[in-house]
Amino acid sequence: MELSRRAVMAGLAAVGCPLTPSQAGQDGLAPPKPAAGRVERFDALVPRGARLRRLAGGYAWCEGPVWAPAFGGFVFSDVKANREHVIDPATGTVRTLREPSGFANGHAVDRAGRLVVCEHGGRRVSLTGKDGVNRMLVESYQGRRFNSPNDVAVKSDGTIWFTDPVFGLKSPAEGGGGRMELPGAFVYRFDPATGGIDAVAKEAGQPNGIAFSPDESVLYVSDTARSLEQGSNGHAILAYDVGADGKLSGRRVFAEIDPGVPDGFALDVKGNLFTSAGDGVHILSPEGEELGRIPTPRTAANLAFGGVHGSTLLICAMDTVYSMELATRGAAII
C-alpha cells in the first residue's frame, strides 16, 4: 500500500532524524536582523554573515536544550514523543538518551556535570548521572505533587531552581494530564544538600523559562500564561533580585515578548538575554532593550549556549533543531 506524504511525515515526527548534508540549511532562512540604531551592539554578538544551520528534524516538539559535555553534546527533549536525545552540534548526529523520559522538558547541568531534568509526566525533578542512571530528586511540596516541572537552572552553590506551570496537566500530549494538587503554579528552590524546598515566587502566572544573570544577582522567569489563553499579559520575562538567603525581591517586568511567548532563554557572559519568541530569537540587553532578532522558520521554543567554545547557540523550534555560531559565549557553560 502506498503511504501518503502526511503518513510519512507523521512517522518521521514520531522518531526524529538527523538531516543529511544535502538537506542542511535548506529552509528559506532569513538572515539575523539588528534593531534600529543597534547595529554595532548586535554585530558584536551576531557576526555579519552568520546563518542558521538545520541540524535535525522530524520531532514532535523539541524543547529544553542544555550543553552537557559528559553526555556527548547538547541534550534536548522531544516532549510529546516522551524521549530525550543527545545531538553533536558539529555533525548533527543524534542518539536517544532516555525513552520513556517522563515527558521530560527542561534540563540543566549541575556542578558535577550530571543532568538535572524537569519531567512533565513524572511531575518531578530528576537527576541522570554520567552512567545514565536516572533517579528522583524532588517530586512534591508540602506533601502535594508538583504540577509539571518545566525548566530549571542550577546556581553555583548547588541549589536547583525550577518552574512548575500546569502545561503537562492541561495537555495530555505533553505529560499525560492529571489533577492539580497545589494551589498555584510557582517557582521553587531546592537544596539537594539538605532536601529543603521553598516556593520562592508565587506570582509569575504560568512560570516557564528560568535563568540567572552571569553574577547570579538576578533571576529571570518568564510568564507564558498567554499560551493557555489566559489573557494577553502572559508573555513577559520577569526579573527578581536574588538575596544571599535565597529569597527573591524586587519583582519587575524585564521585557514583554511579541509575537509569541518567551518559552525559554539563555544569557551570554555580558548579561545579554537571548529568548525564544514566535518569530525566532530576540536578543535583549541587560537593561531589557531589544538589540535584534534571529528569525526562525518555525516557532522557537527554547535555546542554549554550548559547543567547544561556548559560542554555539542551539535552538529548538517545534520539530527542528537549528544552530548558529555567535561572537559571544554563554554565561553558564560548564
Q: What's the CATH code of the domain at 165?
A: 2.120.10.30
DSSP state of 80: G
pLDDT given at position 64 = 98
Mean pLDDT of 233-257: 95
pTM value is: 0.92
The tens digit of pLDDT for each residue in 113-128 reads: 999 999 999 999 999 9
b (16+ CB within 10 A) / e for 216-255: eebbbbbbbbbbbeeeeebbbbbbbebeeeeebeeeeebb
Does any domain span residue 14?
Answer: no
Q: Which of 174, 8, 12, 17 is nearest to 95 (CA)?
A: 17
* 179 burial level (CB within 10 Å; 0-12, 13-18, 19+): exposed
The tens digit of pLDDT for each residue in 25-44 reads: 445 578 999 999 999 999 99
What is the domain range of residue 202? Answer: 34-325
What confidence category does residue 9 fall into, taking pLDDT thresholds of 50, 70 and 90?
A: very low
Q: Rounded to whole angstroms, how far apart are CA atoms 163 and 104?
A: 13
pLDDT given at position 333 = 62
Does any domain span residue 3?
Answer: no
pLDDT given at position 330 = 98
Does any domain span residue 28?
Answer: no
- Of the given ranges (93-97, 204-208, 233-237, 308-312), which has the lowest mean pLDDT? 233-237
Does any domain span residue 280?
Answer: yes
Number of domains in the chain: 1
Does any domain span residue 269?
Answer: yes
Which residue reads 553574577 in cell numbers? 215
Does any domain span residue 193?
Answer: yes
DSSP codes joined into one string, 289-330: -EEEEEE-SS---EEEEESTTS-EEEEEETTEEEEEE-SS-B
